[in-house]
Amino acid sequence: MTAGQHKAPENDPRLEHMHVRTYAPKDQEAVSHLYNHGLLAGQIAPNDTGADIDNIQEAYFSEPDSCFWVAELDGKVLGMIGVARENEGVAEIRRLRVEPQ
């Protein structure tokens, strides 16, 4: 770990309230926030449109081997990750974001 990074101890009582679940439409605002605040230098990469974030249902739930999850702590979405199927037997981890705090 580098300076400024913090690791929660395994016995951290906050972890008892951490919950990872499948994305639901009610999460859209929080997911958009995580995406936008996680952009490197505030810019979308030239080969990235970000369109999947605007339509998570189509991008991550229309293929059998794709999915999108959020992590909640005390009911607040603090993290997200998507897995998008590229082709048979191959998927890509996408949109990994976690609130800095």
Q: Classify the C-alpha dihedral 89-95-100-101 as positive or negative.
A: negative
The pLDDT of residue 21? 94
> What does the mean pLDDT of the chain come to?
83
pLDDT band at 25, cuts 50/70/90? Answer: very high
Measure the CA angle with vertex 93, ends 89 and 95; round to 5°: 150
| pTM for the model | 0.77
pLDDT band at 9, cuts 50/70/90? Answer: low
Longest Cα–Cα distance of the chain, Å, equals 42
Higher-scoring residue by pLDDT: 13, 67? 67
The pLDDT of residue 10? 65
The residue to which tokens 């994305």 are assigned: 23
pLDDT band at 18, cuts 50/70/90? Answer: confident
